[in-house]
Amino acid sequence: MSARKQVLLKRHRRQKRIALLLALVALLMVGVLVAWWWVPIFLVSGWVAHEAWFADHLFYAPADDYSYAFADSVPAIKGRIESGCVQLDGGLGEADTLVLQVQLKASWLGRWLDPYVLIGTDRQDFERGVSGCRYLNLSGQQDALIDGTLQLSGRFCRLEPVVTLFALSNPDYAEQRLMVIAPHADDAELAAFGMYSRARDVSILTLTQGEIEAEAYQAMGLDQATAARLKGRLRSWDSLAVPLWGGVPQSQCLQLGYYCLQLPAMQAQPELAVGSRESGESDTRSVRAANAMQLPGDADGVPSWRNLLADLVASLEHFQPEVVVTPHPQLDPHSDHVASTQALLEAIELSAWKPKTLLLYANHLHDNDRWPMGPAGFGIALPPAIEALPADGLWSPSLDATQRLDKAMALAMQHDLQGALPLKRRIRRLIQRVLAGRRWPATGEDEFFRKAVRRHELFWVRTLGE
């Protein structure tokens, strides 16, 4: 995680500890002044309430406004909600990505059940107790919007009638030569399976083995190092094999074999070899045998920043992508994700081949672990932007039902997204299903099956060389 998210998480946990201490003092007073048998009843009730309504990692107040800056060239069309439909004061032109700025206010029920907005056949969810500026994704609903028949209504929340539509125009980047940068196996599928599976020319580079946190393999009787090596081999195989489900042959996929959560340490000392935290390995060649091309790092297998940059430069010059899909360096706080994009930018400076465009994605967030909120299969509203972000463009291609199912199956093939949930999380989901009305998909138990399999994929567009 980034330093900022660590600070937010520490503050969140400190506030929880203070609240727990106050609650325990109150319970002791109840036990002494009223009756001791009320104490276990309040303890169980408090725990259930916490699991149902207070277990989310939400590092901002639901009343905070989201704040997005759009370029001056992006049309901002005023409009209003009349008789339940969006009416605009201007035309859309050739816009493909449509973002509606609205003001939301949760009802009293919206403090206990997730408030959401129905947008024609779509649904987009927000924080319980929401009260402020939010951004709906209307991409794919152009026809109804132009006709003035796009219905908009809140459930457990109220929308102010005055709205503003931002209409962004993009080429179809899937028609250009693409390269997807995946810090770990599954990042490419989580962020961009729908887009890359219809691309005419795509390469996928996975930077790390993803070998750590292999406790599930230790349960097979393996020691920590052996379990980590097995997990690294499996996830490296995933990075080469799963893209074939999306039509990308192994010859277009490269596994670079660096080690999970070690990219920032490599960046800090570019010549230093930084081996795995858990597997005991320090030679990237252990998982490179299936690569279809030789890379500079194959010469010595040293897991260093210098070798990573050389591998990226060679890949850029070999595949010659016009567009590179990579983690958003300001929005996605995972340390490997931030370092991956920083490595890419350094490599572009060194490379003879210069891509034209970056498409930035966020598989994690600083401020909200549940985004995209709401059930699987629905749209992706813009994420929380409490701190200022660059005024990038946006591109949000739509996925139909068949593409969403294929994406879910691609995730199901990933070893890191398999396996049963821990008992505590199963109990939490049962409580939230009963008391908070939340639902999870049948395609898989990992939270990413809910968050990533959506009506939209979402990318921030950053033009290089300007």
pLDDT given at position 43 = 75
- The CATH class, in words, for 173-382+392-437+445-463 is alpha beta
pLDDT given at position 443 = 97
Burial tier of 112 (Cβ tally within 10 Å: 0-12, 13-18, 19+): middle
pLDDT given at position 265 = 98
pLDDT given at position 1 = 44
Q: Amino acid letter at 191?
A: A
pLDDT given at position 419 = 87
How do residues 367-411 score in pLDDT, each as one tens digit?
898 999 999 999 999 999 988 889 999 999 999 999 999 999 999
pLDDT given at position 23 = 67
pLDDT given at position 447 = 97
Show the low-confidence residues of the chain (pLDDT under 70). 1-9, 11-13, 15-17, 19-20, 23-28, 30-39, 42, 466
